[in-house]
Each structure stands twice: as structure tokens, then as C-alpha cells.
């Protein structure tokens, strides 16, 4: 029998004011963002409208394209795709964060359930965060919970120690080897501690530590190229820190969400609003957190307001230099990272020489343990040097990048390797460039 026409999909197309060609173009755009180009044109959409089922991964991209156009989530049922693969677990600001965290981490550890996670596209709709109560000055009786903090100190200290272990391993090796162990720790140990009875003060402290571990897992997923998974962990981390009333961790989560979206090419009002919210919630956090938030605000403002960008960058540098910091993934902001954000800001402002200087300063300031960051900075500096026409100055940095690349399990590093190949192919007759291309080809 011939397939039944997909009336629901046709109705959505009419609501979106799109024809088949426009939907196909939007699907291709989402697929390209996800790094999985699909062959989709007007005739493909026409077949789907007649009732032919789109083949994976096209359904995921179709639903995301329609969701973006209509500014609301579109489910498989609403699009007449009831046999489409499951999408990400339903994650929203209103969803219970602990239940969501359990769903996500359990799926991470089950290969059959992990596939829908890793094939989902990044969604700008999830960047909308509701208005949250802003912090006020610390209360003078803030020490009344000291006994509670000591009571929950052992569990919280263990979470701190584990966060440092996982962060250090990810920086040395890339996120790949760390992702499953961290997901298991969250799924088994952390969620059990959070469900155990405790006083309000202790529970909030543990929530904040869980938010930091979740945020770290989100960063690792982003480094692995699973951007939708990362986005959902970031949102859960923001919600956990909000429930914990930990505005410093909330500021870090909001800044991370904005950075991730910007890295994927999104820089519209929703992304800038996240960066602004991060600065607002960092107001009474330690100076290092304020500097961290201000630095990325400068990166985003550089595309719109030069003076505001330079003001935010100057503020970040003063806060970073004036404030004390403690070692740890959420209590330190390295000078090398700050110089890197300066380079991003200056690059957007069109200051190529300033970008090279800032990246050079970033390399000099990187601590030996910042291996992953150092490797990516070498690649960025090589690209900046070549952009100024300085091929000979770029080659040593690409060589240093290739030296470290085999020891990193990082999609971000793999993407920089692909960029290096594209940049050097026009110069393949140069002996140094030819040697580097040969080394790169040997890395697969």
C-alpha cells in the first residue's frame, strides 16, 4: 500500500511559512553545524510529505530546524515522525535537575541509550534562561551555618578532590578517557549523596559541588564534539547551582554556556544575555570568578561595541591581578587563559598584531599542567601568524601542536588538525610546510 501522507509535517511547514526547499536548506545547515552533513533537498522533503520516513540522522535535524523556526520544541509526534529515534531526554529549566542528571549519566554508561544523546544537534532554544534572583551582599550572620558546613564537609571535600582529579586528567589527556569515569561517579556516588537526608545548608553545599562536577562533564562532552549533550549538562549545572544559591558557580555555568555557544558560531542576543547574566551573578563572587565572566563578555561584545569590549577586558585583567585565587578547576583562572580571551577579543576587533602578541603571552603564561590548553594555543597562534603572512613564524607552532596531538583524545584538537591541513596545502611546496603535512597525514 502507498504511504499515508504526513499531514502533521505539512501543517508545521505551513505554520513555519516554509516551502520544501527552505526546510531542506535549514536541515542542511543544522546538520553542518553538527558536523554530519546530510544529502537533503526539496525532493527529499516532498517524499517525506507523502509519508516516506526520513532516514536517521535526518529526523533529528528536521526536528531541530523546525524548533528553531517556530521558537518552540517540536516533538517527533508533532511532526508525524513517531518512529523517529528518541531525542535527548527532555531537559528544561523547569525539569527536576537531579532526575535529569540521573537520566543523562545513566544513558552515558549504556551504549544503546547513549546513541540518541550523541546524535542530537545543539539547540539555541535551550540558551533561554529565565530571570533569576540576583545576589545581594553577604549577610552578616553568614557564619551561623558553620556547624552544618562542617557536618557535610567530608562529602563536599571528596567531591572537590574528585573534581580536581578529573579536571587534571582531562587537561593532560583530553576529555575522552575521563568522560565515562566522571559520568559513573555522578551517576552512582554523587546522586546517592544528594538523595540522602541532610540539613538545608549541607544539601545546598553538596548541590553546588555536584553542579561543578556536572559542568566539568559538560566541558568534556563539548571537547569531544557532543555539543547537545554538553549543552544539557551545562543547563543542569546552572539549575543545580541556582538551587544551591551558589551564585559563583552559577556565574561559571552561565559563562560556560555562552562560551560554548559562541565557539559553535552563535553570538546573538541570547548568547550575549548569558554572558551579561554571568557577570551579574559573579558580582559578590571572588574576583577570579568576576574576571572569568568579564573576559568572555569582552569576547562577545567585540563584535558589537569596541569600547565596551575593551572596558570589559580591562576590568577582567584588573580583577584577575588584584584578586587572590586558590588552586582548583573552579577557584583559579590562569593568566594564560586570560591572555587567550584577550586574543579572541582583539581578533574580532581586527587587531592581528595584538592577537599574535596576546597568544604569545598566553603560551608563556601557561603552566606545565595546562597541556591541552597549550596545545590548542599553539595551533591558534600558528593560524594567526599565517593570517599575517608569516609562514615561517607559524611552522614551529604547528610543529609543537603535532608533537602533543597524539597524546590528546580531543575533538577540538582534531578540528584544529584539519584546519592546519587546509591552511598549509596552498604552501605544500615550502619544505617546512611539506614536512608538517606529511606528519599530519601520518596521524590519520
For residue 184, what pLDDT band results from cuts at 50, 70 and 90? Answer: very high
State the CB neighbour count (10 A cutoff) for residue 433: 22
**In the predicted structure, residue 148 carries a pLDDT above the cut 70:** no
Question: Taking each helix axis from N to C terminus, what angle separates 111-119 and 227-243, rounded to the nearest 10 degrees?
Answer: 90
In this predicted structure, what is the pLDDT of residue 442?
86
**In the predicted structure, residue 143 carries a pLDDT above the cut 60:** no
**In the predicted structure, residue 121 carries a pLDDT above the cut 60:** yes
In this predicted structure, what is the pLDDT of residue 135?
66
Mean pLDDT of the 32-58 span: 89
Mean pLDDT of the 38-61 span: 90
Mean pLDDT of the 416-443 span: 94
Mean pLDDT of the 289-296 span: 96
The per-residue pLDDT for range 231-276, each reduced to its tens digit, is: 989 999 999 999 999 999 999 999 999 999 999 888 888 899 999 9
**CATH 1.10.20 describes domain 261-367:** no
From residue 203, give the alpha-carbon distance in Å to each of 127, 141, 155, 421: 27, 19, 10, 50
In this predicted structure, what is the pLDDT of residue 17?
92
Task: Give percent above pLDDT 70 in the chain.
Answer: 89
The per-residue pLDDT for range 73-111, each reduced to its tens digit, is: 788 888 888 754 445 555 566 778 888 898 889 888 886
The per-residue pLDDT for range 368-384, each reduced to its tens digit, is: 889 999 999 999 999 99
For residue 147, what pLDDT band results from cuts at 50, 70 and 90? Answer: very low
State the CB neighbour count (10 A cutoff) for residue 16: 17
**In the predicted structure, residue 149 carries a pLDDT above the cut 50:** no
- Average pLDDT over the chain, rounded to an integer: 88
Q: Do 328 and 164 touch, CB atoms closer than 8 A?
A: yes
Helices and strands (H, E) in the chain, number of each type: 22, 0
Q: Do 407 and 173 touch, CB atoms closer than 8 A?
A: yes
Query: CA 356, CA 217: separation in Å to the nearest integer?
Result: 31
Query: CA 261, CA 227: separation in Å to the nearest integer?
Result: 9
CA atoms within 13 A on the CB side of 419: 18
Amino acid at each position: 500500500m502507498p504511504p499515508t501522507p504526513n499531514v502533521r509535517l505539512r501543517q508545521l511547514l505551513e505554520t513555519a511559512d516554509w516551502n520544501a526547499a527552505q526546510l531542506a536548506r535549514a536541515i542542511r545547515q543544522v546538520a553542518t553545524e553538527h558536523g554530519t552533513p546530510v544529502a537533503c533537498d526539496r525532493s527529499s522533503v516532498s517524499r517525506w510529505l507523502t509519508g516516506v520516513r526520513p532516514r536517521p540522522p535526518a529526523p533529528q535535524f528536521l526536528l531541530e530546524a523546525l524548533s528553531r523556526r517556530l521558537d518552540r520544541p517540536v516533538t517527533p509526534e508533532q511532526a508525524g515522525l513517531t518512529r523517529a529515534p528518541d531525542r535527548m531526554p527532555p531537559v528544561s529549566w523547569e525539569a527536576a535537575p537531579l532526575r535529569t542528571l540521573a537520566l543523562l549519566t545513566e544513558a552515558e554508561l549504556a551504549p544503546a541509550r547513549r546513541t540518541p544523546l550523541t546524535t542530537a544537534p545543539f539547540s539555541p532554544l535551550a540558551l533561554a534562561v529565565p530571570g533569576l534572583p540576583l545576589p545581594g551582599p553577604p549577610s552578616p550572620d553568614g557564619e551561623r551555618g558553620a556547624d552544618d558546613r562542617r557536618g557535610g564537609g567530608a562529602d563536599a571535600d571528596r567531591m572537590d578532590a574528585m573534581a580536581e582529579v578529573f579536571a587534571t586528567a582531562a587537561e593532560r589527556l583530553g576529555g575522552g578517557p575521563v568522560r565515562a569515569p566522571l559520568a559513573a561517579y555522578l551517576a552512582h556516588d554523587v546522586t546517592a549523596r544528594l538523595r540522602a537526608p541532610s540539613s538545608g545548608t549541607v544539601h545546598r553545599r553538596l548541590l553546588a559541588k555536584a553542579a561543578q562536577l556536572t559542568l566539568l562533564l559538560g566541558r568534556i562532552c563539548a571537547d569531544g564534539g557532543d555539543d547537545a549533550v554538553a549543552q544539557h549538562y551545562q543547563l543542569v549545572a546552572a539549575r543545580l547551582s541556582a538551587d544551591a544559591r551558589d551564585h559563583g558557580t552559577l556565574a561559571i555555568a552561565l559563562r560556560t554556556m555562552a562560551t560554548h555557544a559562541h565557539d559553535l558560531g552563535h553570538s546573538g542576543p541570547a548568547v550575549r544575555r548569558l554572558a551579561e547574566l554571568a557577570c551579574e551573578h559573579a558580582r559578590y563572587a571572588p574576583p577570579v570568578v568576576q574576571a572569568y565572566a568579564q573576559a568572555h563578555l569582552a569576547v562577545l561584545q567585540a563584535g558589537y561595541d569596541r569600547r565596551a569590549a575593551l572596558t570589559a577586558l580591562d576590568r577582567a585583567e584588573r580583577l584577575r591581578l588584584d584578586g587572590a585565587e586558590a588552586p582548583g578547576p573552579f577557584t583559579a583562572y590562569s593568566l594564560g587563559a586570560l591572555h587567550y580571551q584577550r586574543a579572541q577579543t582583539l581578533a574580532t576587533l581586527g587587531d592581528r598584531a595584538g592577537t599574535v602578541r596576546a597568544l604569545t603571552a598566553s603560551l608563556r603564561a601557561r603552566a606545565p599542567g595546562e597541556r591541552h590548553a597549550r596545545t590548542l594555543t599553539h595551533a591558534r597562534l600558528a593560524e594567526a601568524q599565517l593570517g599575517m603572512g608569516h609562514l615561517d613564524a607559524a611552522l614551529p607552532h604547528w610543529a609543537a601542536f603535532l608533537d602533543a596531538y597524539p597524546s590528546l583524545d580531543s575533538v577540538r584538537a582534531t578540528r584544529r588538525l584539519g584546519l592546519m591541513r587546509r591552511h598549509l596545502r596552498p604552501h605544500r611546496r615550502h619544505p617546512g610546510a611539506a614536512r608538517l603535512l606529511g606528519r599530519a597525514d601520518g596521524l590519520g
